[in-house]
Amino acid sequence: MPQTPGVDRNAFTIPVLAIAVFGVLFESEQLTKAPPPDKKVHVQYWEKWTDFEFDAMKKVVDAFNKSQDKIQVDILSISSIEDKTLMAISGGIPPDVVGLYGENVTQYADNHAVITLDDMCREAGITKEDYIPAFWNVGVVRNKLYALPSTPATTAMHYNRELFREVGLDPDKPPKTFDELFTMAEKLTKREPNGHLVRTGFMPSEPGWWNWAWGPFFGGTLWDGKDKITFNSPENVEAYDWVQSFSKKYGASAMQSFQAGFNGTFSSPQNPFMTSQNAMEIQGVWMYNFVHKFSPKLDWSAAPFPAAKPNLPDPTVIDLDVLCIPTGAKHVKEAFEFLKFVETQKGLEMLCLGQKKLTPLKKVSDGFIEHHPNPFIKLFIRMAYSKTTCAAPKLGIWSQYKDEITNATSEITLMTKTPKQALDDVTNRMQPMLDKYLARLKARGEE
């Protein structure tokens, strides 16, 4: 889940930009080769995926190419795609289609780096009514559509059934509230006499990808949707008091030492969930892929994440990959023809089944569920309709804000600051940034 600060298109000098763009071109000779003389329009498609995720989209691309004889989509895997695409746009050599992360959409819209899709979607009959609302909304910025969903994800509680049985817990009854989660975590945690952690029942900082979501899980917000950062609201302070309660229970240094060995081990057999060092954790629909690959004999289950409060059931994080057409694309019409193909039920189910995720469409074929390898796919689909969903806020300064939250969460976990102090500090640093950001939008008439 790459997290890269935003790039200011106007900040590039010509020499720096030339070097950056050349680097993108040099990355693969495929980008510098002239298209073969087949009289087709060649649509250049950059995508961030590798391995089986890339292969899944390649099958969709191949199916589109075979479905007609006028357009050839050429797909290429690009690392750090959110930055390199901005560089290519600034240099006047963008791809025709780009696959971005949902949280990139606002930044790209702010920079006029992608075109609006409203008119083309209207003409093609692609409407928000066909999609699960939480996923469609990710591509909408200030009432304009800039991106269409490709592969979505929701999160849920993943837990080790064998460890539940070991400590006398019923593996068919995972925690339903945060109080139950804390109590069960204590039973599942193993420590040596010196306090050294051998196994944790649950750690709010593992995997640590959604440190910003704890507040919304407690009913808090990150901003008011207008002009105010709300990170230090009472609900958010309550959430991070809960986060810090684990450090108070097990010791900040003990937790830090225990988790230090996990760095870089997610996509490996040493993942702490695979090795039974972490009994419960919040994870996305993709977790099945890694369990199946690295620990196929692991006895595990997934269930709705516990509720912090009774009126906030089934909390889940909305994650989404999207497809956009960059500003300056040479083949807009043909690029959208490809997007139309992907956005059909057949196209999206082919892609999402290949990546073993849920589909962003409301309508799901019986075959999609029947042939889906993830035994909990219905759960992840249901989570997308939860009333307690949270997604990255639509702010062009989100990458900076998220970094601030991550740093504050570390201070809270290490107990170098109280939650109130840490949240006040983030709020005080981010409010001036929000003010400047909104002033820029206003000056450009894009409030």
**pLDDT at residue 14, as a whole number:** 36
**Cβ neighbours of residue 421 under 8 Å, at least 6 residues apart?**
none
pTM of the model: 0.91
Q: What is the mean pLDDT of residues 105-128?
A: 97
Half-sphere exposure of 320 (CA within 13 A, CB side): 31
Q: What is the mean pLDDT of residues 201-218?
A: 96
The lowest-confidence range among 36-45, 46-55, 66-75, 171-180 is: 36-45
The angle at the Cα of 171, spanning 167 to 176, to the nearest 5 degrees, equals 100
**pLDDT at residue 36, as a whole number:** 63
Q: Which DSSP letter does residue 393 get?
A: -
Collapsing DSSP states into helix, strand and coil, what is residue 403? helix
Q: How far is CA 147 from the centre of its chain?
A: 15
Here the tokens at position 382 are 């249901």
Mean pLDDT of the chain: 92
pLDDT tens-digit series, residues 128-145:
999 999 999 999 999 999
Q: Looking at the predicted structure, is the pLDDT value of residue 275 above 60?
A: yes
195: left (phi over 0), alpha (psi -120 to 50) or beta: left
Of 257, 225, 275, nearest in space to 394 by CA: 225
**pLDDT at residue 130, as a whole number:** 97
With pLDDT > 90 as the criterion, what percentage of the chain qualifies?
Answer: 87
Q: How confident is the model at residue 446 (pLDDT cuts 50, 70, 90)?
A: confident
Of 182, 187, 183, 211, nearest in space to 199 by CA: 187
With pLDDT > 70 as the criterion, what percentage of the chain qualifies?
Answer: 92
pLDDT tens-digit series, residues 5-56:
333 433 333 344 444 454 544 444 345 455 567 889 999 999 999 999 999 9
**pLDDT at residue 12, as a whole number:** 37
pLDDT tens-digit series, residues 250-267:
999 999 999 988 877 888
Domains of the chain: 32-152+319-384 (3.40.190.10), 155-317+397-438 (3.40.190.10)
Q: How confident is the model at residue 59 (pLDDT cuts 50, 70, 90)?
A: very high
Q: Which DSSP letter does residue 305 get?
A: P
pLDDT tens-digit series, residues 350-364:
999 999 999 999 999
**pLDDT at residue 15, as a whole number:** 41
Q: What is the mean pLDDT of residues 218-239?
A: 98
**pLDDT at residue 265, as a whole number:** 80
**Cβ neighbours of residue 147 under 8 Å, at least 6 residues apart?**
100, 102, 105, 114, 117, 138, 139, 322, 323, 324
pLDDT tens-digit series, residues 385-443:
999 999 999 999 999 999 999 999 999 999 999 999 999 999 999 999 999 999 999 99
Q: Where are the beta strands (DSSP E) in 38-136?
A: 41-47, 71-77, 97-101
pLDDT tens-digit series, residues 297-339:
999 999 999 999 999 999 999 999 999 999 999 999 999 999 9
Q: Looking at the predicted structure, is the pLDDT value of residue 4 above 70?
A: no
Cis (ω within 30 of 0) for the bond into 204? no
Q: What is the mean pLDDT of residues 157-169?
A: 98
Q: What is the mean pLDDT of residues 268-292?
A: 96
